[in-house]
Amino acid sequence: MWDKIFQAVDDLFDEMVNIRRYLHQYPELSFHEEKTSKYIADFYNQLGIPCRTNIGGYGVTATLKGGKPGKTVALRADFDALPIQEENEVSYKSKVPGVMHACGHDGHTAALLCLAKAVLPFQEQLPGTIIFIHQPAEEYAPGGAKPMIEAGVLENVDAVFGTHLWTDTPLGLLHTSKGNFMAGADRFEISIKGKGGHGAKPHQTKDAIVIASQLVTQLQQIMSRRIDPLKTGVVTVGTFEAGQAFNIIADSAKLVGTVRTFDANVQEKIIEQMESIIKSVCLPYEADYDFHYAKGYPPVVNHPDEAELILKEGKNVPGIKDTEEVEPSMTGEDFAYYLLEKPGAFYFTGAQKEKENYPHHHPKFDFDERALPLDAKTLLQAYRSYQEKHS
């Protein structure tokens, strides 16, 4: 049976590509995915697989109960896009100005939909139950996973698995780790309130750009000089907004950035040090400031047994050349919330392009579409292997 399902997935390759490219042309931002959600629900309705909609927002789940006893395994895909103007010149280029699928979520959706279509004819032979989770709003905290969980998507679920098409990983490889896999992702905003004036009379001002520039430099020293070097973390200032003209000294500036950690103690130490640095930099200038720190997604921490299942059994998936345990990534993912509730694992499915391979969240991001059936088949293998292990 399993070989037949693997073949059925491969036979749906063209449909996966068509779905992915359609979704790519009509991306929707986090918390605004109304049409994408409807597209997903319509797909399941046409298959005759029972589904629920508007779960914790625009979330969709579909439930396929097998004809044999077994565990309930959830498989998750996300479907939101990013506020990026696409620069690819392809036939499936985004038709929505300023919005783009620049992270592969269109591919995740296409793969999971076609996996459901592939297994449906074998329903009576399947053990247990598959819950197909289609999650909105992964890209922007507070994210879509938490409200879907609060709405009950993990009730009676025994394990949960998810994958991300990953262009840093070569096609045919699976990457994961047993434990910390992706970092917790926080957001901060610092507003400096100085005193503006004429560019020729700086002594009469409190230059917000100078103050903010010192902050950028000193914030980078938190990890290098104030945190145990055996610990891991990232402090990144992503945007610097200030100034109106070349001859005017700015009266205000705003810094927005992210902090990435695996350790709650390191996270608290960074917050404490940021407060201290901001205060000490602003004080000599008699400048005021506002500091807002929002704790975002927790770290993605895989359960060892389920991660080992991916590493061991993933090698048996047709088209997968090898699996590798890798060092954790400082990128973040709200799949973390599922793993706080249930056993499971998250992993990367290699989707690196042979030429012109751009990173995630880049205006020219794209992935090798040959990874789509691998995405689907590895999720199938995770479900299969979990059933066999716990039968």
- Strands 159-166, 197-198: pairing is unpaired
Tens-place pLDDT, residues 221-264: 999 999 999 999 999 999 999 999 999 999 999 999 999 999 99
- Give residues with Cβ within 8 angstroms of 18, minimum separation 6: none
What's the CA gap between 176 and 303, in Å, rounded? 11
In terms of domains, do 156 and 97 share one? yes
pTM for this model (two decimals): 0.93
DSSP 214-264: HHHHHHTHIIIIIS-TTS-EEEEEEEEEE-SSTTEE-SEEEEEEEEEES-H
Question: What's the pLDDT band for 79 if we cut at 50, 70, 90?
Answer: very high
Tens-place pLDDT, residues 99-143: 999 999 999 999 999 999 999 999 999 999 999 999 999 999 899
In terms of domains, do 55 and 196 share one? no
Name the average pLDDT for the chain. Answer: 97
The pLDDT of residue 190:
98
Final residue in a domain of this structure, among 297, 317, 349: 297
What's the CA gap between 379 and 74, in Å, rounded? 10
- Calculate Rg over the CA atoms of the chain: 23
Catalytic site positions: 80, 138
What's the CA gap between 386 and 391, in Å, rounded? 8
In terms of domains, do 125 and 22 share one? yes
Say if residues 67 and 126 touch (Cβ distance below 8 Å). Answer: yes
The pLDDT of residue 31:
98
Place of tokens 């589904």: 51
What's the CA gap between 18 and 30, in Å, rounded? 22
Tokens of 247: 């001859």
Tens-place pLDDT, residues 3-30: 999 999 999 999 999 999 999 999 999 9
Identify the CATH number of the domain in which residue 257 sits: 3.30.70.360
In terms of domains, do 293 and 319 share one? no
In terms of domains, do 32 and 160 share one? yes
The pLDDT of residue 391:
87
Q: What is the DSSP letter of 332?
A: -
pLDDT at 75 over 90: yes
In terms of domains, do 381 and 318 share one? yes
Return the exposure string of 304-326: e unless at least 16 CB atoms fall within 10 Å of the residue's CB, then b. Answer: eebbebbbebbeebeebeebeeb
pLDDT at 152 over 90: yes
In terms of domains, do 51 and 136 share one? yes
Tens-place pLDDT, residues 204-222: 999 999 999 999 999 999 9
In terms of domains, do 139 and 214 share one? no
Question: Structurally, how many domains does the chain consist of?
Answer: 2
Residues forming beta bridges with residue 127, ordered by sequence position: 68
In terms of domains, do 325 and 272 share one? no
pLDDT at 37 over 90: yes
In terms of domains, do 159 and 216 share one? no
Q: Mean of the pLDDT values across residues 163-174?
A: 98
In terms of domains, do 13 and 99 share one? yes
Q: Mean of the pLDDT values across residues 297-313?
A: 98
Place of tokens 């706080």: 340
The pLDDT of residue 369:
98
The pLDDT of residue 281:
97
Final residue in a domain of this structure, among 254, 278, 297: 297
Identify the CATH number of the domain in which residue 96 sits: 3.40.630.10
In terms of domains, do 19 and 46 share one? yes
pLDDT at 332 over 90: yes
DSSP 264-295: HHHHHHHHHHHHHHHHHHHGGGT-EEEEEEEE
Domain interval for residue 35: 2-182+299-389
Say if residues 75 and 50 touch (Cβ distance below 8 Å). Answer: no
Final residue in a domain of this structure, among 297, 320, 347: 297
